[in-house]
Amino acid sequence: MQDLELLMPAGNLEKLEYAVRYGADAVYFGVVDFSLRAMRKGSLITMDNLKQAVDLAHSLRSKAYVTINIFAFNNDIKQLEASLDRFKDAKPDAFIISDYGILNLIKRNIPDVPIHISTQTNTLNYESVKFWRDIGASRVILARELPIADIAEIRKAVPDIELESFVHGAQCVSFSGRCLLSDYFSKGERKANHGNCSQPCRWSYKLVEETRPGEYLEINQDDRGSHILSPKDLCLVKQLPQLIDAGIDSFKVEGRTKSLYYVSAVAKTYRQAIDEVLENPSADMERYFYELLKVGNRGYTTGFALGNNNSESYSYDISKGLAGSDFLCEFKTCQLNIAEDYYFVKIKNKMFIGNEVEIITPEEQFTAKVEGIKNEYGEDLPLGNTNDDVYVKFSQSPKNYKYALVRTVGIKTPV
């Protein structure tokens, strides 16, 4: 059986663990100042706990890739030089790099750790892949703009290097994410290529004619303006057989700033899809696509993968994510001192007694009904409010509640 990797984002320590529990073979994460995604809450990964994050991944039998993929100014290089010992001590399985100067520093000071070339380098052809191989890279993360046919040609021309491809998640309006819009609109305070993008491609725009200040003209004929720069999210689950045939070694999901539920549900779906394709290359992937409709998205597109990227790849009327199911709660512990079969949960969206829900765990997925809700004093409640910590009884309980998540049934997945 072909050895393929599912690579999931780990925005913080909790998401790292859930990503692996739900099926990731490897996780990638960065630290503030050196990464293109800067988390602001949760058990953040910083220079102080970088080694802890790598060790956690290794304890779960997962690989850990550390992103140092900013485009560096002189001050960034000086800051990185001062941090090299801590990166070395963390002992990650690879560094993800886009900047030549950072590449030089890492090769010179931490030569034993493999180097993965970031998608930010816009690698589109086999000669570029040969170049990265020849200077010591063990893997190239190909640009999102590549058709699958071109990936196959690259693999044939360069068989002795690992190839990684994004298969799911948000896309940038700019070529492989090298965007300056945020820098300009924030007057340099929110630099996209330094992990602090303000996402202006998600904003709603209207036209103003300079001799008519204050008179806003619609770009589209609706009352919401137009999200003229906002790409739909990438979803290539139905193209997994083609990508495997083309020679991809690692399937990467975007989303270090996405929720714990997003990371878990997407990891579970792609894990099952990859495993099924390996068992049966002609397997129908449609039901996995429906599963992915249950998590937040801006509408899905295959992007450039099929060579036919067009206007349908952009979301002209929404900027925030849609989801076919709502995340309701996560299990914390089983508390028998409150009442038999009640579980202590953290409510994420309002949940009522009688609701039909779907419970997912790393091993299970089934529907159940909410049969009871109690507060910390054991008093019955009609509902659990958002952000409440309550005790809930379900008509069916997971075999192992740890890491279990609950969502609305939402979109029905074809059997």
Strands 94-97 and 63-68: parallel
For residues 194 and 49, the model is more confident at 49
pLDDT in tens, 139-152: 999 999 899 999 99
- What pLDDT does residue 66 have? 97
Q: Do residues 409 and 365 touch, judged by C-beta distance below 8 A?
A: no
Can you tell me the distance from the alpha carbon of 20 to that of 22, in angstroms, rounded to the nearest whole number? 5
In this predicted structure, the answer to whether residue 167 has a pLDDT above a threshold of 70 is yes
pLDDT in tens, 350-363: 999 999 999 999 99
pLDDT in tens, 316-346: 555 556 788 999 999 998 766 666 789 999 9
Give 141's strand partners. 164
160 band by pLDDT with thresholds 50, 70 and 90: very high
- What pLDDT does residue 374 have? 93
Nearest one of 189, 215, 220 to 205, comparing CA atoms = 220
Query: How far, in Å, are 15, 347, 360, 384 from residue 391 at the CA level?
Result: 23, 10, 18, 9
Torsion of CA 55, 99, 149, 174, to 10 degrees: 110
The DSSP code for 270 is H
- What pLDDT does residue 20 have? 98
Q: Where in the chain is the domain with CATH 2.40.30.10?
A: 327-408
Q: Where in the chain is the domain with CATH 3.20.20.70?
A: 5-176+230-313
**What is the enclosing helix (H) or strand (E) of 155?**
helix 148-157
Can you tell me the distance from the alpha carbon of 287 to that of 281, in angstroms, rounded to the nearest whole number? 15
In this predicted structure, the answer to whether residue 222 has a pLDDT above a threshold of 80 is no
Can you tell me the distance from the alpha carbon of 368 to that of 101, in angstroms, rounded to the nearest whole number? 54
Q: Do residues 64 and 26 touch, judged by C-beta distance below 8 A?
A: yes
- What pLDDT does residue 129 have? 98
183 band by pLDDT with thresholds 50, 70 and 90: confident
Of 35-44, 127-136, 274-283, the poorest mean pLDDT is in 35-44
For residues 299 and 294, the model is more confident at 294
pLDDT in tens, 366-389: 999 999 999 989 999 999 999 999
- What pLDDT does residue 123 have? 96
> What does R_g of the chain's alpha carbons equal in angstroms?
23
Q: Do residues 128 and 108 touch, judged by C-beta distance below 8 A?
A: no
First to last CA, the chain: 26
Mean pLDDT estimate for the chain: 88
Residue range 5-176+230-313, CATH number: 3.20.20.70
In this predicted structure, the answer to whether residue 231 has a pLDDT above a threshold of 60 is yes
Nearest one of 295, 303, 300 to 258, comparing CA atoms = 295
The DSSP code for 321 is P
In this predicted structure, the answer to whether residue 2 has a pLDDT above a threshold of 80 is no
| Packed helices 13-21 and 260-279: angle between N→C axes, nearest 10 degrees | 30
- What pLDDT does residue 171 have? 78
Give 327's strand partners. 407
Q: Which two tokens stand for residue 78?
A: 């000086």
- Architecture field, domain 327-408: Beta Barrel (2.40)
- What pLDDT does residue 411 have? 79
241 band by pLDDT with thresholds 50, 70 and 90: very high
Determine if residue 263 is left, alpha or beta; phi over 0 gives left, psi from -120 to 50 gives alpha, anything else beta: alpha
Can you tell me the distance from the alpha carbon of 27 to that of 29, in angstroms, rounded to the nearest whole number? 7
Nearest one of 198, 256, 266, 186 to 31, comparing CA atoms = 256
Q: What is the pTM of this model?
A: 0.88
Task: Name the range with the highest mean pLDDT among 86-95, 164-173, 186-195.
Answer: 86-95
224 band by pLDDT with thresholds 50, 70 and 90: very low
- What pLDDT does residue 86 have? 95
In this predicted structure, the answer to whether residue 189 has a pLDDT above a threshold of 80 is no
pLDDT in tens, 41-90: 556 888 999 999 999 999 999 999 999 988 899 999 999 999 999 999 99
Give the residue-averaged pLDDT of 1-30.
Answer: 92
- What pLDDT does residue 326 have? 93
